[in-house]
Chain A
């Protein structure tokens, strides 16, 4: 395993005219790990992937993928990566096997190797029976599997998976997860984007939560859950208190605030000591807080508190 990170991005920025899409994204992905970019539509996930995969030039910042600069050494990056985008990038009028063989030839494999590799991939992705059928007849799940297989004709060092399960039914999603998990053992580094917290949790070693073109939280799934706690403390402030001054004092620790309801929410692990300390810190004079409520946060609450948006229920459009 090389000593440098598989992906290292520093302060990536991108705007389309007035629209700021990436406001400085930095991330480091150690080789051989799975890294998830989690966020709602429009958070900048796809833009980040497209920049790292050399399809888009950043306006600012720099990044190295597999040790190569994504702008100056674009060709070297392209030799080391594979990309599976949101839309199945395969020809519907070709069969699954033909698609794989075409990718093999484009990757420079010789005739015999092309055939052998295509057969092995059909086997690995459970598409042997469908291999000689046109892709137009495939189900959504089969297409995604073939699309992923097409990315692996020559095993890449870094694999980008842009929303690999968006739009799939639950069963196909589970199948896709299984496939991605088997990749990890092979030493490839995976950067995947997803709108589903559960997916990031299931597949990745580390997660970056992306929102409004910024990384708003980063860590292992366990760390994220811990830092976000699984409980939240809702404080209702007294009517003579200005909620915004209290919120300003607490800074980043505020998950949500609703000035009209004089409501401020904080994360907690639910331990009595922690809650007592929080209350004492915010309200040493015992006049600021009128009421409090403790409630357990669902996964969706965690997501909501991180991004300020509800987790997408399903289907996405291109970001």
Chain B
């Protein structure tokens, strides 16, 4: 009898892969449309990167000695700062879905948490790759001259995309945790601060001694060093593997965390 019940349960709760893929596809379309129409978010994620870059290059750049033209040094940092911040907006959009009632409709339609979150993350990745392209564009205009081959470019874009996806999925978990979209948006600032104590804007060895270990070993630094290496030909060392390891670890951890949180939130 108990075997029968168990069997029955398994049969009726198994996820059909084509349906999950289709749902994820619909969700990506939805999230892209929503973020395209959310003017505030759109302006922030497009304007902020460009303004920040101009700020660093023209306002601070003259005072910072990095051994290369500052614009060349700083572009990977700005790219990462903005990608991180843009990705962190996923927390707000996930939280909005979780608190405004649409989650009940999706759940009663048997749309899994994975499809919903994948939609948000994929939309975030596309959105931020577009704004990264914009940063590159402006950087070229103000004198950024990388000496990277096609393969280097490909690797750089792939790493950037991996970083964005990892941070987006982590943000999605934060969105599940937050009680309101406003609370979730606060998370963006945390992510935005992470690149400052790293090699993004100034070389780590110019920082106070006590912060250097953190700056050297936090996830942003290897990602930046790798981007810089790929685009400018500086030595990468083991930063490449470290960067990938960090991103994959954050991504895997976030996927597990978010599935647990989703189950807790929707119990």
Q: Which residues of A contact B (CB under 8 A)?
A: 50, 53-57, 68, 72-76, 78-79, 81-83, 85-91, 93-94, 98, 102-103, 105-108, 134, 150-151
What's the Cα separation between A82 and B110 when bound, in Å? 10
Interface residues of B in 5-61 (CB under 8 A from A): 5, 8-9, 12-13, 19, 22-23, 26, 29-30, 33-34, 37-38
For residue A162, give the distance in angstroms from its CB to the closest CB of chain B. Answer: 9
- Known interface pairs A72-B12, A83-B108, A108-B19; A94-B101 also in contact (CB < 8 Å): no
In the complex, what's the smallest C-beta–C-beta distance from B191 to chain A, in angstroms?
24
B5 engages A89 (CB within 8 Å): no
A-B contact number at CB 8 A: 78
**Chain B residues within 8 Å of A, Cβ to Cβ:** 5, 8-9, 12-13, 19, 22-23, 26, 29-30, 33-34, 37-38, 100-102, 104-111, 266-267
Known: A72-B8, A83-B105, A105-B26. 17 other contacts (CB 8 A): A54-B107, A54-B108, A72-B5, A72-B9, A74-B12, A78-B110, A79-B110, A81-B108, A83-B104, A90-B102, A93-B33, A102-B26, A106-B109, A108-B19, A108-B22, A134-B37, A151-B105
Q: With A78-B109, A105-B22 known to touch, is A86 a contact of B101 (CB < 8 Å)? A: yes
B102 engages A89 (CB within 8 Å): yes
Provide the bound-state CA to CA distance between A107 and B102, in Å: 15
- What is the minimal beta-carbon distance from A41 to any residue of chain B, in angstroms? 17
CB contacts (< 8 Å) of B34 on chain A: these are 91, 93-94
Do A150 and B26 have beta carbons less than 8 Å apart?
no
Are A94 and B30 in contact, with the CB atoms below 8 A?
yes
Complex interface: chain A residues within 8 A of B8 (CB): 72-73
Report chain B residues within 8 Å CB of A82.
108-109
Q: Which residues of B contact A68 (CB under 8 A)?
A: 12
Contact of B9 with A106 in the complex, beta carbons under 8 Å: no
Given the interface pairs A72-B8, A72-B12, the reply to whether A106 lies near B111 with Cβ below 8 Å is yes
